[in-house]
Amino acid sequence: MRSLPADHPLHAPKPPADLERWVDAVAALTEPAQIHWCDGSDAEAAALTQAMLTAGSLETLHPDYPDCYLYRSHPNDVARVEHVTYVCTHDAADAGPNNHWMAPADAHARMDDLFRSCMRGRTLYVVPYCMGPLDSPFSRCGVEITDSPYVVLNMRLMTRMGNAALARIARETRFVRGLHSTGDLDPDRRFIMHFPEELAIKSFGSGYGGNALLGKKCHALRIASWQAREEGWLAEHMLLVAITNPAGETHYVAAAFPSACGKTNLAMLIPPASMPGWQVRTIGDDIAWLHPGPDGRLWAINPEAGYFGVAPGTNARSNRNAHQMVHRDTIFTNVALTADRKPWWEGLEGVPALDWRGQPYDPTVGPGAHPNARFTVSAKENPAYAQEADHPAGVPLSAIIFGGRRRTLAPLVFEGTDWTHGVLLGASVASETTAAATGAVGVLRRDPMAMKPFCGYHFGDYWRHWIAVGAQLTQPPRIFHVNWFRQDANGRFLWPGFGENLRVLSWMLDRVAGTAHAVDTPIGWMPTPADLPLDGLEIESARLEELLAVDTQGWREEYARLQADFAQYGDRVPAELHARIQAAVERLSR
C-alpha cells in the first residue's frame, strides 16, 4: 500500500514497522486514492502549494508578499470547538470535570464510523513531526495522518516536520498517533478526541487551527500534559521570552494567558524608547514544556517551530516584529483583502475590498477579517527570534507570569509569596472569553493556568502535580499575576499595555534579583506606584492608584467564587490551595 513519491530523497529513513502497520490500517479504513509520506522538503511544499493554487483553495497575494498565500476556511469552521473536544480515559474521573469525557471504546467506534471511506478520491498524507528541538531529550515526536494539504503546509511551519523527525521516531519507536480528516465539514459530525492512555488523537470534520494541526493543542498540550504528569514535568500554555536588561543580564520568563490575550505581543515586545538598553527576544508564543533540572531550576523549551498567531489587532504599533515577519513565507487564514490583494485585518489602515469570506466588504455585515483570522509563519522569520529556541537543554526560568483579561478587580501586577501560592494564582486565572473558541465573547470564565481548554486530565490532579514539581526545585522561578486589561468606569483602559508592559517585567526581574520593594497584601506582594520604573511614561497618578489597589470586598467575593469553582473538583484539590485561600480571606476580614 505504501508508495513513495518519485522525488522522495533516497536517504529517507525507514519508518518503524508499527508506524507502517498503523498507516496501512488507516488506509484500509479511509480508502484514500494515494498515500504520500511527507519528507518536509522545499520541493514538497512547493508542489503542495501549486496543487492548492490550481485547485483554487489557496490564493496568491500582492508581490510585496512573496511566498505568502491566503486560505479561506469554511465559514462554519473558524475556531476551536471545545464543546466537541473530548478526553477519553478509561476512568471518567481521570479526565475531570474540566473535560468532556467519552469511554475510549465508544469514542473509537464513533470515530471509526466517521473515518470509514472518508478519504476516497483524496490523498492521505503521513506527517512525521517533532515537538521541540530535534536533538533535545525533552522533545516528543508524533505522526499526523491527514487528508488536508493545508494542514501539511501548516505543520511544516509549526513543527520540525519530515525526514529528520521520522529518523528520530525510527530510533525512539514511541510517538503520538494523530488521525485527522476534514471529512465533510458538517458541524454535527465534528469531534476532536484524545486518548492520552494510548498517546492517540482522532480529529474529524474540521480543517481549522487547533482542531486540525494536531501537533499544537492536541499533542503539545492535552496529550503532553498527561505524559508530563507521568514523567515528572509540565506542558503549559505559555509564551517564552528572553529579556536582557541594560546591564546585559538575560532572564528567561514564561507567561500563561488565555487565548487571544496578547501572548504573541508580549513574546515579541518592543521596549519603549524611554527604556534604552533593554532587549526582548522570542523563544515561543504559545506553548512551553517545563522540566525540573538537576540544578534545582526549572528549564523550559518551546515545542513549536512557528506561530499560528491572531492577525486582527497586529500592526506596527502593537507588534512590530509580527507585523514585519508576516511579509514573506506566510499562510494567512480568513483575513480580508485590499483591492490590490494585500492581506488586511482590523487594526491596519485603510479598508479592504473583500472580506474574509471573499465577499465585497460591507462594514454593516461584519468585520473585514474574521476576528480569529490567523497567520502561520516559521519562528525563524521573527526579527526577534532567540537562538536559545534551538537549545536542546532549554532555558532556565526566572519567573512565571499568569494573567487574564479582566475589566475589574485584578490589579496590574502582584506576586505569589512562594511556589504554592503561585500555583493558587495560576489556578485562579479568569478571563473574558475571546474569538479563539466558538461561543459567546466577553464572558468571564475561570481558566486555571490558561489551560481550561487544554489540560488533558483532572484539574485537581494537575494542581497537585504542579505542587509536586515545585517541591523538586531549590531555585524555583517567582510567580506573578498580571492584568493588562483593567478599564475605568467609562471603558477606557487604565494601562497602556504593549511595550509599556516591560516596566512591569522590569519590576519582576528586580524582585528576582532581590532589589525591588513590594508591599505585603492579602492577595500577595504588590508594588506601589513608586516601585515601578515609570520614567518616560505619562500616566495619571489616580490611574496608577486604581491599577494597584486591592478591593477588599471584591476580593472576598472573588475568593468565595473561587472556592465554589474549586468545589467541582472535590477532594482532588490539594489542601494547600484551600489553606492559602483561607489565609487570604482571614487577612481580608481583619
Burial class (CB in 10 A: 0-12, 13-18, 19+), 360: exposed
> How far is residue 72's CA from residue 127's CA, in Å, rounded to a whole number?
22
Q: Which does 209 bind (CB under 5 to 8 A by kind): ligand OXD, Mn ion, none?
A: ligand OXD
> How far is residue 557's CA from residue 420's CA, in Å, rounded to a whole number?
22
Q: Should residue 221 be labelled a site residue for ligand OXD when binding is judged by CB under 6 A? A: no
Burial 454-481 (b: 16+ CB within 10 A, else e): bbbbbbbbbbbbbeebbeebeebbbbbb
Q: Which does 569 bind (CB under 5 to 8 A by kind): Mn ion, ligand OXD, none?
A: none
Q: Indicate the residue among 307 and 344 with the shorter CB distance to Mn ion.
A: 307
User: Which of positions 234-273 make contact with ligand OXD (CB under 6 A)?
Assistant: 259
Among positions 44, 144, 147, 286, the unique one binding ligand OXD when judged by CB under 6 A: 286
With CB under 5 A as the rule, give the number of residues binding Mn ion: 2
Q: Indicate the residue among 299 and 308 with the shorter CB distance to ligand OXD.
A: 308
Give the bridge partners for 70, in sequence order.
Answer: 59, 332
Q: How far is the CB of 436 from ligand OXD (least distance, A)?
A: 4
User: Which of positions 257-276 make contact with Mn ion (CB under 5 A)?
Assistant: 259
Q: Which does 302 bind (CB under 5 to 8 A by kind): ligand OXD, Mn ion, none?
A: none
Q: Indicate the residue among 335 and 508 with the shorter CB distance to ligand OXD.
A: 335
Among positions 240, 436, 449, 573, the unique one binding ligand OXD when judged by CB under 6 A: 436
Among positions 72, 80, 405, 543, the unique one binding ligand OXD when judged by CB under 6 A: 80
Residues 136 and 198 sit within 8 Å (Cβ to Cβ): no
Q: Indicate the residue among 142 and 210 with the shorter CB distance to ligand OXD.
A: 210
Tallying the residues shown for the chain, one arrives at 590
Best CA proximity match to 504, nearest among 237, 272, 236, 288: 272
Q: How many CA within 13 A on the CB side of residue 574?
A: 17
Best CA proximity match to 495, nearest among 534, 431, 547: 547
> How far is residue 560's CA from residue 565's CA, in Å, rounded to a whole number?
9
Q: Should residue 308 be labelled a site residue for ligand OXD when binding is judged by CB under 6 A? A: yes
Q: How far is the CB of 286 from Mn ion (least distance, A)?
A: 4
Applying CB under 5 A, the span of 5-13, 278-286, 314-322, 570-578 interacting with Mn ion comes to 278-286
Instruction: List, in order, residues 6 or more apart from 167 with CB less than 8 Å away.
Output: 13
Q: Which does 210 bind (CB under 5 to 8 A by kind): ligand OXD, Mn ion, none?
A: ligand OXD
> How far is residue 246's CA from residue 399's CA, in Å, rounded to a whole number?
18
Give the bridge partners for 430, in sequence order.
Answer: 446
Residues 290 and 299 sit within 8 Å (Cβ to Cβ): yes
User: Could you say which DSSP state residue 35 is in?
Assistant: E
Q: Should residue 286 be labelled a site residue for Mn ion when binding is judged by CB under 5 A? A: yes
Q: How far is the CB of 66 from Mn ion (least distance, A)?
A: 28
Applying CB under 5 A, the span of 65-73, 198-206, 266-274, 279-287 interacting with Mn ion comes to 279-287
Q: Indicate the residue among 286 and 304 with the shorter CB distance to Mn ion.
A: 286
Q: How far is the CB of 210 from ligand OXD (least distance, A)?
A: 5
Cell 489553606 belongs to which residue? 579
Q: How far is the CB of 526 from ligand OXD (least distance, A)?
A: 28
Q: Indicate the residue among 259 and 433 with the shorter CB distance to ligand OXD.
A: 259
> How far is residue 378's CA from residue 375's CA, in Å, rounded to a whole number?
10
Q: How far is the CB of 264 from ligand OXD (least distance, A)?
A: 9
C-alpha grid cell, residue 92:
471518567
With CB under 6 A as the rule, give the number of residues binding ligand OXD: 7
* Count of CB atoms situated within 10 Å of the CB of 134: 15
Q: Is residue 261 annotated as part of the catalytic site, yes or no? A: yes
Q: Which does 73 bind (CB under 5 to 8 A by kind): Mn ion, ligand OXD, none?
A: none
Q: Indicate the residue among 398 and 433 with the shorter CB distance to ligand OXD.
A: 433
Among positions 96, 210, 371, 416, the unique one binding ligand OXD when judged by CB under 6 A: 210
Q: Should residue 381 be labelled a site residue for ligand OXD when binding is judged by CB under 6 A? A: no
DSSP 3-state helix, strand, coil percentages of the chain (rounded to 5)?
A: 35, 25, 45
Q: What is the x/- site pattern for Mn ion, positions 208-247, by CB under 5 A?
A: ----------------------------------------
Q: How far is the CB of 209 from ligand OXD (least distance, A)?
A: 6
Q: Indicate the residue among 331 and 354 with the shorter CB distance to ligand OXD.
A: 331
Packed helices 224-231 and 459-471: angle between N→C axes, nearest 10 degrees: 40
Residues 99 and 93 sit within 8 Å (Cβ to Cβ): no
Among positions 15, 16, 196, 209, the unique one binding ligand OXD when judged by CB under 6 A: 209
Please name the amino acid found at residue 476. Answer: P
Residues 345 and 335 sit within 8 Å (Cβ to Cβ): yes
Packed helices 149-158 and 42-55: angle between N→C axes, nearest 10 degrees: 140
Helix, strand, or coil here: 296?
A: coil
Q: Should residue 464 be labelled a site residue for ligand OXD when binding is judged by CB under 6 A? A: no
Applying CB under 5 A, the span of 85-93, 282-290, 366-374, 395-403 interacting with Mn ion comes to 282-290
Best CA proximity match to 424, nearest among 456, 484, 470: 470
- Nearest-CB residue for ligand OXD: 259
Q: How far is the CB of 129 from ligand OXD (least distance, A)?
A: 17
Residues 175 and 159 sit within 8 Å (Cβ to Cβ): no
Q: How far is the CB of 305 from ligand OXD (least distance, A)?
A: 15
Helix, strand, or coil here: 404?
A: coil
Catalytically annotated residue among 118, 141, 261, 455: 261
Q: How far is the CB of 375 from Mn ion (least distance, A)?
A: 14
Best CA proximity match to 321, nearest among 273, 385, 369: 385
Residues 492 and 546 sit within 8 Å (Cβ to Cβ): no
Q: Which residues are catalytic?
A: 261
| Chain residues in the site for ligand OXD (CB under 6 A) | 80, 209-210, 259, 286, 308, 436
| Chain residues in the site for Mn ion (CB under 5 A) | 259, 286
